[in-house]
């Protein structure tokens, strides 16, 4: 299948789901039926004008024209800011004013009808040429709604091994730079190579381009493993689905840097399912149970909740509901409140945060409708003189959204109060917070969002919220690339800890949250005292600090990233900080905006002197959070007790050190800090200093019982088993080549190993594939003693792989470097550094100045002892030169590419010896150098020389006319064609015919051989098409 065939197939699908398919050539500005005046225009303005009139019949013409003008001229220089401004107009309507009955009326002009898909015009236009400031570009397919270009699809040839999905992604990034006006109006970008398909937002990097795996929200991959593109077209680009998506599932967040986020398929369908359930549950006689959405940690739960809130607030059946968002911790309340606050474009409401119990009552009591109120569950505690919590509102259109709703403090069970807790005349029993919530809002509907499963024994959560309505588990998230695997490594043995030192912990003790109510703190503190004494002893802290520093530095040599350390108490946090800083003084800085290590915890001015230097106000904590999330900021290690362990998203964090007893949901939440996707991160690592293995097993058991698929953690020794397997394969491939002195062998040994592999049948691919798998495994287990023992050998084999697979002599693009793990995974202490990846350096040659392949350099190559590597080197040099020098000279590019392909094919088929292929390649290099200099001798520039070569393609014409006449023809053709060609001329047969006649007229004028004129004219027009991008 070709790229054009794929394009036609996609257009067929789009036609089936409701789009009118139009060819861009047929409606271009220079066509017989132009839909726009100039190629610079990206909107179909007349069609938009017609849609505005159709959708807003009561708005006067002058106001409609004003709305159109606002859309055409967004008047915002920054691309992403302009995109945000347009999205507001698309979703909310365009604000206008006009006179009616002598009064000024404010109104909003609709650009799209979100309720009735058929009221809109749906167009799929392929080959729609757009002229930018310097380049003309032609995206494969653009989807227009009412003349607005909202979706761009870029496709690559499924049969071309080099034209993969990421080439399509790169092409989209190029379009953003070269035709930016188009992307002011873009909502979704799609890249595909036929078998794979990914979609992303305007600001998304490659890691954030995701699959769309369902059509109906239930069945995954309905068109099979290689049907991703069809699933995406039928799953999200159908008119009704796309309108819902654009309206409620596109967010802009501006926290100092503007970012556009779009929802994944699991978020989209979870919200739709929750809306259906909540609407039904809130009706008279309904259950008031909105259900539980379980989306594994790291899969964007906060965004899902935000989209749900926006959608339910505009659901007509809910009649402008009030949303109450409940968390069980102050820091979580702040984090989630921050996400909602940053998404005001979507929710169209400024959420409010409850400060006190009294504040809660005043914000909810007698509220007639609307609003988003954030509160912690503890605010729903009755006063000391109250038997139960008072009713705040009996309205049925209140929706309570609970974050992580299944912790122990949610419940209905009554417990007997202690004598000193009972006020005079008050009740002797205390019920759970869930009962207080129900008492306060008796007719509200409750919906829960959780990152970990609800316990199979937890009846309270089901009593409040009902059953699961949507599940997105670890296995599905990992398959989708939404999260990475979490690996587990125990370091207990490294600390020489006795097993019985850690047995003092009562099974019923849950971790003591810094923000718990005071009565809860008092109850739990005594239970921790004994264990804390053991864990916080000075000798142990020093041992932990020493191991942590060594481990973290070693891990960072294999994969750059950041780490969090969880300690048992605030005092231990500080003692651990001091112990680490004693080992690495340069990590410390008293300024919160500087330094490599910090503590993040709650506290107040009344805290003891030991803690005060590490207690910061909210704004400073916000700055620390921003620093830690920034991969380039030197802050690389943060010590916490409870903060940042839930709801905190820092993708560059790859290691979590645990020195605090944790269990159940809290443990699952904490370890998920390291499962975020980030560049080439192969997985997150949890390092255990306290003995959480049994708790992990219990959590996994509960996870499995809840029908969750995939393992929450993988033992690091499993990665080591893969490392061993791949090492054995690589050693076997190098059997017969002695590389035992890799510690001292240097560059020549590298070259020899690469040369040996190139001599094996399909050796290069076999070695590269296994070395890449080895590198990934090593990244995940590099801190194990067993892995350290083979570190230098791994580094050597990685360097051989890089030497074999380095595609270009010139510096690689950053995106390509990010995808080549081995270059940066070579360990810092090994014999080979990450810079030694160049074939020239490996064989001891100076890198040539590209284009100057002189005799002296070629002689050096001829005499290289590594014969296979010499062939590889010459092939790369010539391949790069052909593409670089003859990018717009079709005749010479075709001639030399064919020559090179034939020589290499004979070599790979073993039909010629290495020595012979080297001689042929050197001879080709000399011819190449001579051909490159012909233009000067003929008095032609590069464009003219390209047409000369097209004319000289026929040997009879060269004999008959000679170089001088051919040069004159080339000069005249170049001048005439350059004046005549326009954007899209090649696709319009009438224009091609005129140009063909002009070319033939010039050929006849100079008596070009008549029987060769047709072929020459075709070659000349093809050459003109190649140069059109430069000329037009």
Residue 18 has pLDDT above 50, yes or no: yes
Ordered DSSP codes for 915-981: HHHHHHHHHHHHHHHHHHTHHHHHT--HHHHHHHHHHTTSHHHHHHHHHHHHHHHHHHHHHHHHHH-
Side-chain-side CA neighbours of residue 376 (13 Å): 18
Structure tokens, 477 = 């998230």
Share of the chain above pLDDT 90, in %: 40
Question: What's the pLDDT at 331?
Answer: 64
| In a shared domain, residues 531 and 549 | yes
DSSP assignment string, 365-414: TT--S--EEEEEGGGGPPPTT-SSPPP----S-EEEEEESTTSTT----E
Mean pLDDT of 6-15: 96
pLDDT at 1012: 78
pLDDT reported for residue 1018? 83
Structure-token match 């070259």, residue found: 751
Question: Residue 831 pLDDT > 50, yes or no?
Answer: no
Q: Is residue 370 part of a domain?
A: yes
Instruction: Compute, in degrees rounded to 10, the torsion defined by CA atoms 128, 132, 137, 143.
Output: -40
Q: Quick check: is 847 in a domain?
A: no
Average pLDDT value for residue range 484-502: 64
**3-class secondary structure, 7:** helix
Residues 25 and 136 in one domain: yes
Share of the chain above pLDDT 70, in %: 79
Q: What is the mean pLDDT of residues 207-236?
A: 93
- Please give the angle made by the CA atoms of 85, 91 and 93, to the nearest 5 degrees: 80
Whether the per-residue pLDDT at 421 is higher than 50: the answer is: no
pLDDT number for residue 868: 65
| pLDDT tens digits, 564-575 | 999 999 999 999
Lowest mean pLDDT across 172-186, 259-273, 778-792, 827-841: 827-841
142 with 151: CB under 8 angstroms?
yes
Please write the tens of the pLDDT for every residue from 595-633.
999 999 988 878 899 999 999 998 999 999 999 999 999
Residue 845: pLDDT band with limits 50, 70, 90: very low
Lowest mean pLDDT among 117-126, 305-314, 568-577, 710-719: 710-719
3-state secondary structure of 308: helix
In a domain, 1006, yes or no: yes
Closest C-alpha among 1007, 1016, 1018, 1020 to residue 978: 1020
DSSP 753-801: HHHHHHTSTTHHHHHHHHHHHHHHHHHHHTTSHHHHTTHHHHHHHHHHH
Average pLDDT of the residues of the chain: 81
Question: Is 866:900 a contact under the CB 8 Å cutoff?
Answer: no
Pairwise pLDDT comparison (689 vs 12), residue with the higher score: 12
Identify the sign of the CA torsion 691, 694, 697, 698. negative
Please report, for the domain that includes residue 350, its CATH number: 3.40.50.300
Q: Is 212 part of any domain? A: yes
Do the Cβ atoms of 309 and 372 come closer than 8 Å?
yes
**pLDDT at position 490:** 81
| Beta-strand pair 468-472/289-295 | parallel
**Do residues 93 and 24 lie in contact, with contact meaning Cβ atoms separated by under 8 Å?**
no
Q: Give the span between the Cα atoms of 192 and 871, in whole angstroms.
A: 34
The reported pLDDT for the residue numbered 451 is 82
- Give the number of domains in the chain: 6
DSSP structural state of residue 814: H
Band the pLDDT of 241: cuts 50, 70, 90: very high
Greatest mean pLDDT among 6-10, 223-227, 799-803, 950-954: 6-10
Most confident option among 534-538, 629-633, 1013-1017: 629-633
When mean pLDDT is compared across 8-17, 493-502, 719-728, the lowest value belongs to 493-502
More confident site: 329 or 417: 329
Residues 380 and 395 occupy one common structural domain: yes
pLDDT greater at residue 315 or residue 983: 315
CB atoms within 10 A of CB 1010: 10
Phi, psi of 964 (to 5 degrees): -65, -45
Both 805 and 859 in one domain: the answer is no
What's the confidence (pLDDT) of residue 585? 96
| 850 within a domain of the structure (yes/no) | no
Q: Which domain holds residue 447?
A: 263-472
In tens, the pLDDT along 386-396 reads 778 899 999 99
Given strand 445-450, what is the order of strands in its sheet?
352-353, 372-376, 322-327, 398-403, 445-450, 289-295, 468-472
Give the whole-angstrom CA distance, residue 308 versus residue 269. Answer: 10
According to the model, what pLDDT value does residue 508 have? 36
Q: Kindly indicate the confidence band of residue 833, based on its pLDDT and cuts at 50, 70 and 90.
A: very low
| Section 81-94 average pLDDT | 97
- Domain boundary among the residues 424, 449, 472 is at 472
H or E element in which residue 1020 lies: helix 1013-1031
Mean pLDDT for the stretch of residues 767-780: 85
What are the phi and psi torsion angles at 566 (to 5°)?
Answer: -105, 115
The residues facing 510 across adjacent strands are: none
Residues 516 and 592 in one domain: yes
Q: Which burial class, exposed, middle or buried, applies to 789 when counting CB atoms under 10 A from its CB (0-12, 13-18, 19+)?
A: exposed
Final residue of a domain: which of 421, 444, 472? 472
Burial of residue 764 (CB within 10 Å: 0-12, 13-18, 19+) is middle
Length of the chain (residues): 1032
- The arithmetic mean of pLDDT across residues 813-824, rounded, is 33
Q: Is the pLDDT of residue 40 over 80?
A: yes
Q: What's the angle, vertex CA 870, arms to CA 869 and CA 874, rounded to 5?
A: 115
Higher pLDDT, 740 or 921: 740
Distance CA 1031, CA 888 (A): 11
Q: What's the mean pLDDT in 137-163?
A: 91
CATH number at residue 178: 3.90.1570.50
pLDDT: which is higher, 452 or 527: 452
Sheet of 122-126, strand order: 20-23, 122-126, 141-145, 148-155, 188-192, 197-200
Q: 254 versus 960: which is more confidently predicted?
A: 254
For the stretch 334-372, pLDDT in tens is: 778 888 888 888 998 899 999 998 999 999 987 899 999
Of the listed ranges 216-225, 360-369, 674-683, 806-815, the one predicted with least confidence: 806-815
State residue 699's pLDDT score. 67
User: What does the block give as tokens for 258?
Assistant: 């503007």
Which pLDDT does position 708 carry in this prediction? 57
Is 401 among the domain residues? yes
Confidence of residue 713 (pLDDT cuts 50, 70, 90): low
The region of weakest confidence among 23-27, 407-411, 468-472, 636-640 is: 407-411
Tell me, letter by letter, the H, E, C secondary structure of 137-168.
Answer: ECCCEEEEECCEEEEEEEECCCCCCCCCHHHH
Residue 227 has pLDDT above 80, yes or no: yes
> Are 215 and 319 part of one and the same domain?
no
- Measured over the CA atoms of residue 257, residue 260, residue 263 and residue 264, the dihedral's sign is negative
Higher local confidence (pLDDT), 993 or 205: 205
422 and 503 inside one domain? no
Residues 6+ apart with CB under 8 A from 58: none
Structure confidence by residue, pLDDT tens digits, 898-937: 777 777 777 666 656 666 777 777 777 777 767 767 777 7
For β-strands 429-431 and 414-416, DSSP reports them as antiparallel
Question: 268 with 274: CB under 8 angstroms?
Answer: no
Which of these, 271, 198, 274, lies nearest to 231 by C-alpha position? 198
Is 526 found in the same domain as 423? no
| HEC secondary structure over 331-371 | HHHHHHHHHHHHCHHHHCCCCEECCCHHHHHHHHCCCCCCC
Same domain, 954 and 922: no
What's the pLDDT at 309? 96
From 258, 204, 247, 304, select the one nearest 89 (Cα to Cα): 247
Tell me which residue of 520, 510, 289 sits closest to 415, measured CA to CA.
Answer: 520
Q: Is residue 528 part of a domain?
A: yes
Residue closest to 214 by CA, chosen among 203, 202, 222: 222
187 pLDDT exceeds 70? yes
Same domain? 414 vs 344: yes
Q: Is residue 515 part of a domain?
A: yes
pLDDT band of 861, cuts 50, 70, 90? low
Between 219-223, 386-390, 873-877, 903-907, the lowest mean confidence (pLDDT) is in 873-877
Q: Are residues 403 and 276 in the same domain?
A: yes
**CB–CB of 555/719 below 8 Å?**
no
Closest CA to 996 of 969, 973, 975: 973
Please state, in angstroms and rounded to a whole number, the distance separating the CA atoms of residues 66 and 149. Answer: 20
Question: With 50 as the cut, is the pLDDT of residue 440 above it?
Answer: yes
**In the prediction, which pLDDT does 500 show?**
47
808 & 947 share domain: no
Residue showing tokens 């006190």: 356
The mean pLDDT of 789-801, rounded to a whole number, is 86
Of 835 and 260, which is predicted with more confidence? 260
| Side-chain half-sphere exposure of 118, counting CA atoms within 13 A | 0
Model confidence band, residue 800 (pLDDT cutoffs 50, 70, 90): confident
**Of 807, 842, 877, which residue is a domain's last?**
842
């Amino acid at each position: 299948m070709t790229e054009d065939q794929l394009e036609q197939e996609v257009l067929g699908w789009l036609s089936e789901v409701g789009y009118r398919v139009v060819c861009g050539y047929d409606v271009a500005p220079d066509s017989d039926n132009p839909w726009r005046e100039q190629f610079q225009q990206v909107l179909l303005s007349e069609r938009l004008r017609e849609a505005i009139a159709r959708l807003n019949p009561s708005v006067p013409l002058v106001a409609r024209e004003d709305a159109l003008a606002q859309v055409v001229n967004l008047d915002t220089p920054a691309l992403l800011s302009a995109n945000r401004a347009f999205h507001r107009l698309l979703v909310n309507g365009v604000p206008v004013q006009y006179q009616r009955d002598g009064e000024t009326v404010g109104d909003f002009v609709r650009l799209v009808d979100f309720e009735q898909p058929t009221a809109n015009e749906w167009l799929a236009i392929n080959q729609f040429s757009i002229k930018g400031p310097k380049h003309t570009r032609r995206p494969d397919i653009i989807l227009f709604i009412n003349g607005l270009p909202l979706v761009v699809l870029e496709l690559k040839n499924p049969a071309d091994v080099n034209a993969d999905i990421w080439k399509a992604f790169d092409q989209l990034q190029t379009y953003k730079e070269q035709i930016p006006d188009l992307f002011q109006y873009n909502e979704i970008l799609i890249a595909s190579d036929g078998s794979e398909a990914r979609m992303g937002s305007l600001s998304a990097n490659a890691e954030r381009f995701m699959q769309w795996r369902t059509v109906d929200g239930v069945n995954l991959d309905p068109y099979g493993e290689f049907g991703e593109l069809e699933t995406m077209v039928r799953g999200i680009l159908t008119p009704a689905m796309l309108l819902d998506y654009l309206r409620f599932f596109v967010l802009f967040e501006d926290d100092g840097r503007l970012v556009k986020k779009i929802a994944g398929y699991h978020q989209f369908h979870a919200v739709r399912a929750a809306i259906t359930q909540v609407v039904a549950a809130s009706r008279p006689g309904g259950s008031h149970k909105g259900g539980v959405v379980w989306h594994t940690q790291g899969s964007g739960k906060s965004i899902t909740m935000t989209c749900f809130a926006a959608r339910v607030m505009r659901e007509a059946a809910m009649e402008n509901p009030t949303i109450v968002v409940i968390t069980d911790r102050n820091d979580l309340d702040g984090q989630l409140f921050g996400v909602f606050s940053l998404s005001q474009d979507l929710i169209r409401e400024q959420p409010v945060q409850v400060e006190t119990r009294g504040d809660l009552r005043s914000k909810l009591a007698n509220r007639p409708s609307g609003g988003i109120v954030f509160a912690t569950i503890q605010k729903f505690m009755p006063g000391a003189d109250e038997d139960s919590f008072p009713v705040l509102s009996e309205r049925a259109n209140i929706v309570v959204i609970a974050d992580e709703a299944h912790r122990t403090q949610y419940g209905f069970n009554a417990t007997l109060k202690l004598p000193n807790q009972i006020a005079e005349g008050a009740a002797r029993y205390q019920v759970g917070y869930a009962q207080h919530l129900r008492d306060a809002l008796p007719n509200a509907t409750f919906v829960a969002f959780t990152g970990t499963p609800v316990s199979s024994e937890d009846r309270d959560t089901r009593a409040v919220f009902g059953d699961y309505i949507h599940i997105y588990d670890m296995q599905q998230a990992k398959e989708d690339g939404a999260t990475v695997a979490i690996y587990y490594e125990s370091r207990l043995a490294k600390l020489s800890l006795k097993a019985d030192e850690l047995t003092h912990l009562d099974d019923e003790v849950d971790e003591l949250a810094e923000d718990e109510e005071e009565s809860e703190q008092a109850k739990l503190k005594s239970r921790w005292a004994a264990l804390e004494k053991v864990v916080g002893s000075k000798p142990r802290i020093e041992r932990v600090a020493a191991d942590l520093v060594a481990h973290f530095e070693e891990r960072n040599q294999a994969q750059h990233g950041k780490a969090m350390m969880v300690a048992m108490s605030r005092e231990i946090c500080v003692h651990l900080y001091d112990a680490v800083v004693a080992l690495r003084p340069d990590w410390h800085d008293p300024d919160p905006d500087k330094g490599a290590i910090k503590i993040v915890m709650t506290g107040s001015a009344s805290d003891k002197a030991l803690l005060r230097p590490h207690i910061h106000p909210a704004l400073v904590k916000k700055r620390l959070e921003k620093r830690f999330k920034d991969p380039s900021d030197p802050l690389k290690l943060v010590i916490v007790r409870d903060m940042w362990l839930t709801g905190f998203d820092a993708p560059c964090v790859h290691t979590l050190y645990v020195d605090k007893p944790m269990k159940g949901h809290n443990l699952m939440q904490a370890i998920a800090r390291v499962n975020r996707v980030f560049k080439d991160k192969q997985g997150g690592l949890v390092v255990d200093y306290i003995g959480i293995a049994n708790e992990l097993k219990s959590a996994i058991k509960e996870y499995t019982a809840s029908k969750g698929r995939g393992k929450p953690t993988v033992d690091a020794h499993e990665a080591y088993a893969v490392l061993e397997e791949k090492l054995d394969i690589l050693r076997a491939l190098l059997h017969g080549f002695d590389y035992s002195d890799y510690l001292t062998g240097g560059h020549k040994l590298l070259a020899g190993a690469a040369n040996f592999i190139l001599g094996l049948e399909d050796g290069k691919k076999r070695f590269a594939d296994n070395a890449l798998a080895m590198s990934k495994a090593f990244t995940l287990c590099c801190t194990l003693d067993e892995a350290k023992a083979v570190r230098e050998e791994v580094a050597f084999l990685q360097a051989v792989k890089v030497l074999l697979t380095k595609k270009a002599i010139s510096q690689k693009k950053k995106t390509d470097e990010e995808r080549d793990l081995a270059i940066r995974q070579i360990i810092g202490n090994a014999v080979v550094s990450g810079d030694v990846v160049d074939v020239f350096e490996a064989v001891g040659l100076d890198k040539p100045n590209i284009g100057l392949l002189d005799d002296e350099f070629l002689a050096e190559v001829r005499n290289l002892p590594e014969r296979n590597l010499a062939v590889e080197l010459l092939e790369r040099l010539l391949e790069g030169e052909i593409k670089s020098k003859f990018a717009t000279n079709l005749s010479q590019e075709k001639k030399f590419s064919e020559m090179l392909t034939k020589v290499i094919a004979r070599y790979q088929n073993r039909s010629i010896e290495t020595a012979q292929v080297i001689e042929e390649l050197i001879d080709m290099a000399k011819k190449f150098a001579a051909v490159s200099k012909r233009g000067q001798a003929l008095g032609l520039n590069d464009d003219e020389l390209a047409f000369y070569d097209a004319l000289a393609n026929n040997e009879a014409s060269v004999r008959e006319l000679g170089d001088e006449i051919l040069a004159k023809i080339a000069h005249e053709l170049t001048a005439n064609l350059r004046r005549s060609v326009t954007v899209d001329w090649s696709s319009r047969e009438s224009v091609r015919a005129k140009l063909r006649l002009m070319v033939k007229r010039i050929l006849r004028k100079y008596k070009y051989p008549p029987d060769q004129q047709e072929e020459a004219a075709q070659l000349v027009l093809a050459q003109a098409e190649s140069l059109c991008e430069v000329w037009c």
